[in-house]
Chains A and B, each alone.
Chain A
């Protein structure tokens, strides 16, 4: 049984996965922090420790994500779009459209029956359209991002932000709190804002069911629900949505073999 390593060096977190052939066997996740190189090295050391393996036991590795260039020691690199497609396909072979809510941008991609990306669209780099918006507002409301989704589901009437900028959105949230707006409504407002941006991307790529949501944003049950409501279709979410690109990278490593 061969071992493959995939690492996704994202703007917020660095995720690394070791597979036993195609099976996701071990993973580790740490904040990318300021230096992608140190982060990726640390993440790899950690996951190897977990797996009780040495770097030599790994047949092939692939790096992806916006920090991949900073981890040239890994050798092979490829687009996080391909990796995401691969990872999702292995988890849900029936999925044809993938929504990836990342820390810096959101992506929508179409996937074929072999896990290849056939069409894709990436959002502009504006925090208001990415997972970051939710983190910012959660921090303002002094809510752990993990609980934000659940709380938001309580919302009866989500607010409509008067601005399309995450920074102004932050101040707006603060003064709404001061005016007594319930936190859940403020959170739900963010999710709606992001859901609109997602469906615009989907409109351009074209929606084909089944549809999955991955990336850190998919951990937010509220965002998943409101996106489903907007699209009017169910969304599949893998157990570890934030690992999909790293997992896919390992699968690509398996295809490519040692460099």
Chain B
């Protein structure tokens, strides 16, 4: 009974239920392609750069990172982590990487998808696609996958310009052109590998759809700034996958449009995602997938997670100029998804740097009372900026932060009990800083 009540603490979006089928479809496609011997690519989150081109060439990408979350919630990840360690990989490496390395070892041993692999497993790759984007340790990971899969690995470069350069349009021009040239190389690589030509009209159609998806997804997040917060982070996490991997797909667009409508209706009717919104919070980094009930317990206390790590959001409306050439358009969006926050920081005179900038902006726009960070022990990239972000919010905006350690794959790290025990103390901090903000004339 108590369980039941907890489950209901967060009012989920009905339309978020439409997302699951898309994700399942994605996995079934992957498995099917493997069985029918069609080309399959193991691909990293590549920020809409490589996927769309692979899709246009009828390659079915499967995503080891996302599969890591699947294995984690299934519990089998623990086994794969052990196997990876047995192969000699240090245990401080990315949990998704260790999971994939373990999975690959097992699959190679079995000569097929290993026993007990969830969601039909990941089919043997025809080639692998890396991206340097955001976390460039990842290309080392796919490079080391070659000891299991003797197939080519292609790496998409991803410029990470300096903060000081971010206001310079000519730097962006150079960077986007470099990416576009490399995309050309990638297409040649694919055409040679697959023995077929890229259908540019198809690519253009997909790209148009992708840009529409960015737009509606962005608009949904704009709606979430309303008080009370109409959409809880839990709905975001449910829905983020298609935007990542299936943005080319008209179905995705259709679903997101329904989500938009539902959120809009909620805003107009003043419907909150939690019973009584006492505190508006940002949740930083990927959630503890295995114990999401944790958020219902906090929702009962009036904690509304109105937004979450900006890194998992689509790029904002484009502000960079440049030509309309297809590859340049693709490259520019991917590049923009990384530089937009620094670009904005530059315009604001650098109140902060790196991953902290978006938190700074969103804390202001969403009128945040607190930030709950979830450092992931095996994900340095996600964790690096969290301390700085908390400092900046506290020192510059008088918004307190609390931190609970967790991991992307090792579910044993996260300790909900301790966190809940500390919740009352953190509420005091939020109340305290509310007073401080008032005394400084801030409006929340």
Contacts and interface: CB of A to CB of B under 8 A. Distances in A.
A–B contact with Cβ pairs below 8 Å: the answer is yes
B422 A116 contact: no
Contacts of B432: 112, 114, 116, 118
B429 A78 contact: no
A102 B280 CA distance: 32
Contacts of A80: 421
A120 B422 contact: yes
B428 A119 contact: no
Contact of A82 (B394, B400, B418, B428): B428
Given A118-B400, A118-B433, A81 B425 contact: yes
B400 A119 contact: yes
B394 A119 contact: yes
A249 B432 CA distance: 19
A85 B418 CA distance: 18
A82 B433 contact: no
- Tell me what chain B mostly uses at the interface: helix, strand, loop, or mixed: helix
B423 A118 contact: no
Contact-residue size bin, chain A (C-beta under 8 Å from the other chain): 10 to 19
Interface string A108-128: 010010101111101000000
A9 to B, nearest CB: 12
Contact-residue size bin, chain B (C-beta under 8 Å from the other chain): 10 to 19
B431 interface: yes
B424 interface: yes
B425 A117 contact: yes
A62 B432 CA distance: 22
B400 A79 contact: no
A117 B394 contact: no
A217 to B, nearest CB: 20
B400 A85 contact: no
B394 A79 contact: no
Instruction: Tell me which of B421, B428, B433 has the highest count of chain A C-beta atoms within 10 A of its own C-beta.
Output: B428
A209 B428 CA distance: 20
Contacts of B421: 79-80
Nearest to B433: A118
Instruction: Tell me which of A109, A112, A118, A122 has the highest count of chain B C-beta atoms within 10 A of its own C-beta.
Output: A118
A201 to B, nearest CB: 13
A85 B428 contact: yes
A82 B429 CA distance: 10
B429 A117 contact: yes
Given A85-B428, A119-B394, A119-B400, A79 B422 contact: yes
A112 B433 CA distance: 10
The 10 closest A-B pairs by CB, nearest first: A81-B425, A116-B428, A79-B425, A79-B424, A117-B425, A82-B425, A78-B424, A116-B432, A118-B429, A118-B432
26 contacts: A79-B421, A79-B422, A79-B423, A79-B424, A80-B421, A81-B422, A82-B424, A85-B425, A109-B425, A114-B432, A116-B428, A116-B429, A116-B431, A116-B432, A117-B425, A117-B428, A117-B429, A118-B428, A118-B429, A118-B432, A118-B433, A119-B394, A119-B429, A120-B422, A120-B425, A122-B418
Given A78-B424, A114-B432, 20 more contacts: A79-B421, A80-B421, A81-B425, A82-B424, A82-B425, A82-B428, A85-B425, A109-B425, A116-B431, A117-B429, A118-B400, A118-B428, A118-B429, A118-B433, A119-B400, A119-B429, A120-B422, A120-B425, A122-B418, A122-B422
